[in-house]
Structure 1
Amino acid sequence: MTENTRNTVDGQVGAGAIVQAGSIGAVHHHTHAAPAAPAGALLQLPVEAAYFEDRDRERARVERALGLREGRTGVVRPLVVAVSGVGGIGKSALGLRLAHDAHRERGCGALYVDLDDLRRDGAVSPADVLAVLLRALGVHEPWMESDLVGRARQYAARTAERVLVLVLDNVAYGSEVEPLLPVSADSVAIVISRARLEDLPGALEVPLGPLPGAAAEELLHAVLEGARPAGGPGTVSEVARLCGGLPAALHVAGRYLRKHRRRPPERLIAALRTELDEEGVPVVEAVWNAAYDELSAPAARLYRLLAVHPGPSFTPASAAALLGAEDPDTAYDALGELEAARLVAVWERDTAEAAPADTGSGAAGPGGTDPEVTRSGGTDSQVADDGDGAGERLRMHDLLRAHAQRRARREGEPGEAVEARRRVVRWYRRQAERADETIAGSRMRFATPVPALPYAPDVPFGSRGEAAYWMSAERGALYECVRLAHEAAGPEDDADAWGLCEPLWTHFMDHRHYADALDAFATGVAAAQRTEHLPAQARMRCQLARPLWEQGRIEEARAQVDRAVHVARSLENEPKLRASTLEFRGLLRSAEGDWAGAAEEFAASRRIHEEIGNTYGVLLQSYLLGKALIEQGEPESAAELLASAHGMAVERDRLSGARGPGRMTGRTACELARAVRVSGRSDPARLAALYDLALAAARARGADREEATTLRALADLADETGDPTAAGAHRARAHAIESRAGSLGGPEPRG
């Protein structure tokens, strides 16, 4: 992975063409041409750092360690490289450089996870981190195991035959690393932490210290991009010395010198010396203070407010929501100032195109899955600015965030941060509502939609896939907004808290992040109670119950569902909600294996839908009741009910002008065929027609688990009719789907 790292960016490169990722305080070097990774190699890393200086010794150590492992047998543990050092020393930049090197030179896949993005109350759920990694490795959501043991098995199966480089950033404890290590001796895990991880055995420790004098000057020259500040080389040497070899300070100082290259350098140098020597202010603080003092009023205000942004990264639009200026262009101009000063930096450019898909999310209605999120647009760190920041995510280094908080305490206007939080929460809620409408269509919602906001633009959602992709990219911010809104404790804030939980329900049904969902939906219940909104209370309790029972917490789930049913019964004007709570109780009883109880709940829900003339509700409950009756040992009754439901689904497709069989047409066809077969009154031609219809519906939606299930049913039917060739072909296709999607041969899909 080593290469000559003494080159610098040549003076012809414009400042807007180079983006830094990983950390504002990272050490950087801009590379031009590099060997291309094999076509299709998995790459999910933030864009490579624009500047990189020194660290040759550290990179050579890693290269030697890799060489020593070549040819070893019996090793199933990857090389673990533990990069540690104080904030702003360049840990992320080195880790990402090593990962990009491996991707280019070894042709291996590359993954990145920032554990702080998933940290809740200081802890990280390994099951949730594994879910992120499994999606990146191609495991489809309907096949994702629900618990840590199952996900660990899937991860082992997915990584055992692959060569990967995995970057785990912001690790707090060695115990967080162990469950996430690829099961491959040829893989590399790059672990980045501030402190040495005493509980991470066998790791190659790579501690980082400040850059030595010559390297610090080289980095400063690189950031200057050919500009020659007044005072000549002596100015660069003195500033580099005052910055103490800390890249975080060198970056900001370099941009300051570049901006004021014709100004006598004594002003910056004197300020640094005064604050450092006379006032005891750390040099980094002095450099950042100098850069901050040069900002326009809107840029300074945005800088202070970014410290309270709900997500670890942000977009130009969410920054505009924070600032709340009458004209969003004010925010964009302010953000440009912060980028130019290196106080924020581009972290990701999402280049993957999302395709709509149906994951079979049951009560949530049709949903979309996000594709593999491509963090980096390629291996070249020169990324042209597209002008409007489309698909661009930015980040503020933790040290700069802390600095912004200190400046906010000193200079922020009263209530400035509180109002900014409310604006950005409201903006996120509006976008989530719009995304949910795009993904799931019309469904039961109780929150009054947030109207258009003049101070920040809406995210364009051209398709279900794009909306689902946005929800996944903003997941951390969305869940954090629920907490922030509830903590604000005003009536409108609580309405935002539970109102955000409504669109997060659809996302949860497509992406089982249990720790996030349990926290958010419990908060939604509390917020709905505080606002005394009874329909929302019932809905939130049902939403909370589902992740509870899927995590085996049956008694807690039952308490939530029973309370929801009780509340809904008191609401005479909400019959659809009453029916929904009964459906949830039926689903809970199905999960417990109480099929008689489930059938009773689905039948009661169906009667309410019949009374109010909700044909889709009748269809859905007939389908669920039919499934329960099959399990209960009443296939004849089930077949009669499912035949009626199937007819309703076909008619629904006809009235909607659908070009092919819809989701419920396919599902009812498959269950009807199962009921007929179990009853022993099978008609092979009829069964084949039903299965073919179910297969067409599954393929049209990309519902691969339903497709595999139907193929196996067709294989069984072929066996029964004496066609072993067809049976083998169907099973082979089903097995190929299951292998591709990450199946461990688990239960039927969640429904």
Structure 2
Amino acid sequence: MAHLAAPAYPDGQLYANLRGAEAVALDPADVLARFLRALGVDARAISNDPVERAEMYRTRLAGRRILVVLDNAASEEQVRPLLPGAASCAVLVTSRARLTGVEGARWIDLDVFARAEAVRLLGRVGGEERVAAEPGEAAEIVRLCGGLPLAVRVAGARLTARPTWRLAHLSRTLRDERRRLDRLATGDLEVRASLALSYEGLKGEAKRLFRRLGRFDTPDFPAWLAGAVLEESADAAGLLESLVDAQLIAVSGADAAGQIRYRFHDLVRLYARERADLEDPPGERLDVLGAGFGGWLAIAERMAARVPGPCYAAISGSAHRPRVEWPPAEVEPLDWFDAERAALLSVVRQACALDLDELAFDLAGCLEKYFDIRGMYGDWSATNRLVLAACRRRGNRLGEAVMLRGLIDVVTWNSTPDEGDATSRFHADAFRLLEMFTELGERRGMSDAAVMCSWALTARGGQAEALAYGERALALAEETGHVGGQARAHVALAVARAETRDVARAIGHLDAALAAARALGNPRYETAVLQFLGIAYREAGDLETGARMLDESLAISRRYRDVYTEVLTMVALARLYLRQGDPRAREAAEASLALGREFNMSHHVADALGALGEIELAAGRPERAVSYLEQSVAMWRTRGWLSFLAAALHVLGQAYEANGDLPAAARARGEAGEILATLSAGR
């Protein structure tokens, strides 16, 4: 930057390395004497009084255009005497710490290198031909250096000193986190020593906060974490800012919930952990992490209570929940989860790695409704599987059951065709879950599991048993005051009734489910019930009421950006529009198919393909209808829901016949008839 600015200052430059990163920084009086000599003052005329030196310095600079470069400054006290009084001069100060006390300064934070920049620096120092020969390893080295210029420079210097090394060898040595700072040292260049100077400049409480915050793996963190890990400190926020001023942590910016977020550079975090291992009591690590993790859990639990989603019973473990004075009441729960998503997933992973199973399953349970409403099924499945494994290792049966409950839901409705018969797996898992909750004596969980058993039995054609399990789930929910369980049980009973064409009783159950969902204040489940009501009224021939219910459901889905319920509502509307002769039928079905494929909703994709087949058949395009319906039938075979498969086969038979393929039509109708006979036997 000084080189770029130099042409604007024709009277010259003054440069001094103030040695702020070294054990003993330069005395500003000595720097003034040097500058005065450079400006032509005879050494014998330079006063021993620092104040007189500063006055002479400013007098000499008056009216001249000179650029003063003060490199590696230690403090405001060191810099102030070296500032020229003339407006015609400029000063460029570099420092490890942010010198906030320098008046009138404009600050420019230098971030880490981008990958391409870091690779170029590595090539210049370590050899461009070597970097070009192993580009992947070069990228890995700069990743492990975190793009930190000093670290990349040290890595390049190590390559220069060892011309026989391949880059792959250096990258392998740097992968060991415990030894990485040891490897990033050569000659008088050492990342650890550079960080130590910043650390030693901190006050005691700030040092302790630095060590404690370094324990967390999260990519970033909010300000309240400082207070959570320093419970007795009244000035945690001030200590946090002192770490920012020392350039040991960085401000990431404001998040969606209005929080200021902070982050560690990876190498700085490693150094913080080194200091913690050396300076703090051995047992403190889990206490510090427990306090921070518990803070996230305490907030997540409060926020999750306000997120609409599945009406599961809130079953929690015994993890510590410290008091955290955040967030303000006006913060929207979904905004908070959006802001904290990466941190929360990191906390769950770290808790599992440390066998903190109670905390892991509590926090993962708080995430389920958020994952559901945002359509983050991959995150939901991966998180629950990870925590489920941790709970099994620790013999935590309650945590295992809670994680299995959510996992069953996400895997059943969002599995891919190559994962086998979804309904058979659903049946086995639901009954296993019911057995687990029964062993634990958790009756609200038993209600939730019995609902799943009812659905699984309905899908396989066992409507009589499905109704029995639905009634059992309802009784358990009423007995325990589990209002969400009552809503879910009524929906399961409605679905079982609908399979037997008992639409009137199905509507009665859905009316009861809607009342329970509204009493619970859960618009997400209200949306789902309205969907089923819209479909039921459509099947009863009341298209006007059906459309009104579906439109209301769709409005709530879009308000919450809830893709899952939107997809089902769109395909239900497509079939209703088809009956009304409304040209919007195709648009609704195509939108449902596109969203279903985007979010891997296999059940709804199969349904949308069937709806498009019906639309094409009604439009007199049997060949296109066959194409859609064959895809639908193939997917329903992997789903295993017999009544849906039979319905798709029946329409496919009609499409084959309209297309002139009578043998294929007979086969499709014959198979549909066999399935319907099986279903009749199960009633």
TM-score scaled by structure 1? Answer: 0.51
Measured on the aligned residues, the alpha-carbon RMSD in Å equals 5.1
Contact kept? 2:222, 2:261, Cα under 8 Å: yes
> Structure 1, residues 198-219: CA drift from partner, whole Å, max 9, x if none?
xxxxxxxxx99579xxxxxxxx
How far off its partner does 1:309 sit? 0.9
> Structure 1, residues 210-261: CA drift from partner, whole Å, max 9, x if none?
79xxxxxxxxxxxxxxxxxxxxxxxxxxxxxxxxxxxxxxxxxxxxxxxxxx
Give the counterpart letter for 2:223 in structure 1: P
1:336 paired residue among 241, 245, 252: 241
1:507, 1:391 → 2: CA distance? 19
1:653, 1:499 → 2: CA distance? 24
Contact kept? 1:27, 1:93, Cα under 8 Å: no
SS of the residue corresponding to residue 447 of structure 1 reads coil
2:584, 2:297 → 1: CA distance? 48
1:536, 1:744 → 2: CA distance? 28
2:500 paired residue among 625, 628, 634: 634
Assess, with a 3 A threshold, how the Cα gap between structure 1 residues 593 and 306 changes in structure 2: closer, same or farther. Answer: farther
1:21, 1:606 → 2: CA distance? 61
Alignment of 1:113-132 (within 5 A): none
Paired position in structure 2 for 1:131: none
How far off its partner does 1:597 sit? 6.2
Paired position in structure 2 for 1:517: 384
Paired position in structure 2 for 1:472: 341
SS of the residue corresponding to residue 474 of structure 1 reads helix
- Answer with 557-566 or 337-346: which moved more: 557-566
Alignment of 1:582-593 (within 5 A): 582-587=450-455
Paired position in structure 2 for 1:728: 583
Contact kept? 1:508, 1:517, Cα under 8 Å: no
1:505 paired residue among 364, 368, 371: 368
Assess, with a 3 A threshold, how the Cα gap between structure 1 residues 392 and 15 changes in structure 2: closer, same or farther. Answer: farther
Paired position in structure 2 for 1:716: 575
1:5, 1:556 → 2: CA distance? 69
Residue ranges of structure 1 left out of the alignment (5+ in a row): 29-48, 60-79, 95-192, 195-206, 212-274, 354-389, 487-492
2:206 paired residue among 291, 299, 307: 299
> Structure 1, residues 513-554: CA drift from partner, whole Å, max 9, x if none?
133321123323544x35xxx655543442454456555487
Paired position in structure 1 for 2:292: 424
- Answer with 477-486 or 292-301: which moved more: 477-486
Give the counterpart letter for 2:195 in structure 1: W
SS of the residue corresponding to residue 328 of structure 2 reads coil
SS of the residue corresponding to residue 439 of structure 1 reads coil
Does residue 320 of structure 1 match 2:241? no
Paired position in structure 2 for 1:671: 532
Assess, with a 3 A threshold, how the Cα gap between structure 1 residues 601 and 337 changes in structure 2: closer, same or farther. Answer: same
How far off its partner does 1:654 sit? 7.6
Contact kept? 1:20, 1:345, Cα under 8 Å: no
Contact kept? 1:482, 1:523, Cα under 8 Å: no
Determine what percentage of the aligned residue pairs are the same residue: 21
2:496, 2:592 → 1: CA distance? 27
Paired position in structure 2 for 1:97: none
Give the counterpart letter for 1:682 in structure 2: G
Give the counterpart letter for 1:447 in structure 2: S
SS of the residue corresponding to residue 307 of structure 2 reads helix
1:601, 1:446 → 2: CA distance? 21
Give the counterpart letter for 1:344 in structure 2: I
How far off its partner does 1:396 sit? 1.9
> Structure 1, residues 724-744: CA drift from partner, whole Å, max 9, x if none?
xxx223543664677589748
SS of the residue corresponding to residue 252 of structure 2 reads strand
Alignment of 1:74-153 (within 5 A): 83=139, 85-86=141-142, 91=147
Does residue 581 of structure 1 match 2:442? no
Paired position in structure 2 for 1:402: 270
Paired position in structure 2 for 1:175: none
SS of the residue corresponding to residue 215 of structure 2 reads coil
Paired position in structure 1 for 2:509: 645
Contact kept? 2:517, 2:525, Cα under 8 Å: no
How far off its partner does 1:297 sit? 0.9
Does residue 433 of structure 1 match 2:301? yes
Does residue 445 of structure 1 match 2:314? yes
Contact kept? 1:691, 1:714, Cα under 8 Å: yes
SS of the residue corresponding to residue 438 of structure 1 reads coil
Contact kept? 1:704, 1:737, Cα under 8 Å: no
Assess, with a 3 A threshold, how the Cα gap between structure 1 residues 57 and 296 changes in structure 2: closer, same or farther. Answer: closer
TM-score scaled by structure 2? Answer: 0.56
Give the counterpart letter for 1:498 in structure 2: F
2:191 paired residue among 284, 291, 307: 284
Q: How many residues align?
A: 470
1:516, 1:317 → 2: CA distance? 25
SS of the residue corresponding to residue 517 of structure 1 reads helix
Residue ranges of structure 2 left out of the alignment (5+ in a row): 7-68, 70-89, 101-105, 125-135, 159-183, 608-683
Paired position in structure 2 for 1:266: none
1:11, 1:740 → 2: CA distance? 57
Give the counterpart letter for 1:412 in structure 2: D
Paired position in structure 2 for 1:309: 216
- Structure whose CA Rg is larger: 2
Alignment of 1:213-612 (within 5 A): 283-322=190-229, 324-329=230-235, 331-350=236-255, 352=256, 391-440=259-308, 444-447=313-316, 453=322, 457-460=325-328, 462-483=331-352, 486=355, 494-510=357-373, 511-512=376-377, 513=379, 514-527=381-394, 529-530=395-396, 536=399, 538-546=401-409, 552=419, 561-570=430-439, 574-587=442-455, 600-610=468-478
Assess, with a 3 A threshold, how the Cα gap between structure 1 residues 319 and 477 changes in structure 2: closer, same or farther. Answer: farther
Contact kept? 2:455, 2:496, Cα under 8 Å: no
> Structure 1, residues 666-723: CA drift from partner, whole Å, max 9, x if none?
5334324434555xx52444444444444444455444554454444444334434x4
1:418, 1:404 → 2: CA distance? 16
Contact kept? 1:321, 1:423, Cα under 8 Å: yes
Assess, with a 3 A threshold, how the Cα gap between structure 1 residues 6 and 328 changes in structure 2: closer, same or farther. Answer: farther
Assess, with a 3 A threshold, how the Cα gap between structure 1 residues 520 and 737 changes in structure 2: closer, same or farther. Answer: same
1:682 paired residue among 541, 559, 567: 541
